[in-house]
């Protein structure tokens, strides 16, 4: 069982008091305890089973505008004293930075809605094994499936954040996740794909048989892919891929990227960067949300934000340090976005497929080809040719390219938004992207 909040808070408060005694003008400490149990299967045989118990402390000390931090996994009192002493000495030898400070007191979180992020239920290892066996058996019902890899992980965590301005809080969270990778082979062609589930509560997980059958189905559909000619074509991104476009947007509007001048979206506040129908939200207060949190990693309240409204950029993701550099107030996004999502579109998935007579449907991208300074985007990809709304055949060994400025302005979203990840997007169509084939 994870250590209780009062135990962690007592350790954290000791750090703060000792740091102040040694001359720190301010200090902040985070202590986390996490227990994780994992079981992995490969081809119906147990591959690995382990349990990890992680306890860690992260201390930040300030001497006016000097700042340094130190981490450890040893919470014995003598070690904590040594840790604080070392951090203070390091701080003394650190150059001053006028933007170093704790968050403004009036921005610290105070009122908390119950987000239901913790499930006390525990799944014994034999039940995890039963789950994985069922997933693999479901995948192997297809004779072309020749290999499977499955995994089940259960994690329970508790943490506290305490600073010298009087903030003391933390919360428990839990995670139950399972995955199945299926490998299909036919006529010399071999392909793989996956399905997974990840939830805060055990009861919300997908059924094991569904994970196995979906992984097998996706792998089988990719068999015997063709190569295609280079062309300019409308591209449809599967939800697993369209969320990465949103992830790149989030990176581009981080206060760090804006302050450094390394984002193509600098100086774009209150300017139109998407088409009129696009709205983007970041909501940390979704009950049982995978990205939900009561406050950011500095203790700052994080209210829901409408980042983009009718195509217009309204907010950056701002923390304390880079916010001060930009002369902007933190909006509780130290550590990035929370539950980030496109508002669902107003067209069905079927109608999206029929918007043009021929589309390229992308189910997998390869590599990290995003340049956030210029907005250029280029990745390897696999997917399917769609003609007159019908999936015709799989394709592979292609490269898709464009620029985020054009991608954002030529975007149409389906009405099939699901909250399966921390960052979520409906199926997405982008008009006129360049595809390099054979």
Joined tokens for residue 132? 């994985």
Would you tell me how many other CB atoms lie within 10 Å of the CB of residue 192? 18
What's the pLDDT band for 127 if we cut at 50, 70, 90? very high
Report pLDDT digits (tens) over 399-414: 999 999 999 999 999 9
Cβ-based burial of 229 (10 A; exposed 0-12, middle 13-18, buried ≥19): exposed
> How confident is the model over 411-430, as a mean pLDDT?
97
> How confident is the model over 107-118, as a mean pLDDT?
94
Q: What percent of the chain has pLDDT over 90?
A: 94
Q: Considering the chain, what is the average pLDDT of its residues?
A: 95
Q: What percent of the chain has pLDDT over 70?
A: 100
Q: Which residues contact 430 (CB under 8 A, 6 or more apart)?
A: 234, 235, 236, 237, 402, 407, 410, 411
Give CATH 3.30.2290.10 domain extents, the chain: 5-221
Whole-number pLDDT of residue 326: 97
> How confident is the model over 181-210, as a mean pLDDT?
96
DSSP symbols for 371-382: ETTTTEEEEEEE
- CA 285 to CA 278: how far, in whole Å? 21
Smallest Cα–Cα separation from 38: which of 139, 149, 115, 166? 149
Whole-number pLDDT of residue 321: 97
Indicate the fold that domain 5-221 takes in CATH. Answer: PmbA/TldD fold (3.30.2290)
Whole-number pLDDT of residue 44: 87
Smallest Cα–Cα separation from 395: which of 379, 380, 383? 383
What's the pLDDT band for 188 if we cut at 50, 70, 90? confident
What's the pLDDT band for 438 if we cut at 50, 70, 90? confident
Through-space distance between the first and last CA atoms of the chain, rounded to whole angstroms:
56
Would you tell me how many other CB atoms lie within 10 Å of the CB of residue 145? 22
- CA 136 to CA 132: how far, in whole Å? 6
Would you tell me how many other CB atoms lie within 10 Å of the CB of residue 144? 17
Joined tokens for residue 137? 């058996």
Q: What is the pTM of this model?
A: 0.94
- CA 103 to CA 88: how far, in whole Å? 20
Joined tokens for residue 139? 């995948």
> How confident is the model over 118-141, as a mean pLDDT?
95
């Amino acid at each position: 069982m994870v250590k209780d909040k009062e135990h962690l808070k007592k350790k954290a408060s000791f750090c703060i008091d000792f740091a102040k005694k040694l001359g720190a003008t301010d200090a902040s400490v985070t202590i986390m305890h996490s227990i994780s149990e994992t079981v992995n299967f490969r081809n119906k045989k147990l591959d690995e089973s382990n349990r990890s118990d992680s306890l860690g402390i992260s201390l930040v000390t300030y001497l006016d505008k000097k700042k340094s931090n130190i981490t450890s996994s040893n919470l014995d009192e003598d070690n904590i004293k040594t840790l604080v002493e070392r951090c203070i000495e390091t701080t003394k030898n650190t150059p001053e930075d006028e933007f170093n400070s704790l968050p403004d007191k009036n921005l610290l979180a105070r009122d908390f809605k119950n987000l239901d992020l913790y499930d006390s239920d525990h799944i014994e290892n034999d039940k995890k094994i039963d789950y994985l066996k069922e997933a693999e058996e479901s995948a192997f019902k297809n004779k072309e499936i020749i290999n499977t890899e499955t995994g089940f992980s259960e994690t329970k965590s508790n943490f506290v954040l305490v600073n010298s301005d009087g903030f003391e809080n933390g919360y428990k969270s839990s995670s139950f996740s399972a995955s199945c990778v299926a490998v299909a082979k036919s006529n010399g062609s071999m392909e793989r794909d996956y399905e997974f589930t990840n939830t805060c509560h055990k009861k919300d997980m997908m059924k094991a048989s569904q994970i196995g059958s979906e992984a097998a189905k996706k792998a089988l559909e990719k068999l015997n892919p063709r190569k295609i000619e280079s062309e300019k074509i409308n591209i449809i991104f599967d939800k697993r891929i369209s969320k990465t476009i949103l992830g790149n947007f989030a990176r581009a509007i981080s206060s760090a990227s804006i302050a450094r001048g390394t984002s193509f979206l600098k100086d774009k506040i209150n300017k139109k960067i998407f088409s009129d129908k696009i709205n983007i939200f970041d909501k940390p207060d979704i009950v049982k949300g995978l990205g939900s949190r009561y406050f950011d990693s500095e203790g700052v309240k994080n209210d829901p934000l409408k980042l983009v409204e009718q195509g217009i950029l309204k907010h950056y993701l701002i923390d304390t340090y880079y916010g001060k550099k930009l002369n902007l107030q933190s909006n509780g996004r130290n550590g990035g976005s929370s539950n980030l999502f496109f508002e669902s579109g107003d067209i069905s998935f079927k109608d999206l497929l029929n918007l043009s007579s021929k589309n390229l449907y992308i189910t997998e991208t390869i590599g990290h080809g995003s340049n956030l300074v210029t907005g250029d985007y280029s990745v390897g990809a696999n997917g399917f040719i769609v003609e007159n709304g019908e999936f015709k055949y799989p394709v592979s060994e292609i490269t898709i390219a464009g620029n985020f400025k054009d991608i954002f302005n030529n975007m149409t979203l389906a009405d099939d938004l699901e909250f399966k990840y921390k960052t979520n997007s409906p199926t997405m169509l982008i008009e006129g992207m360049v595809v390099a084939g054979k």
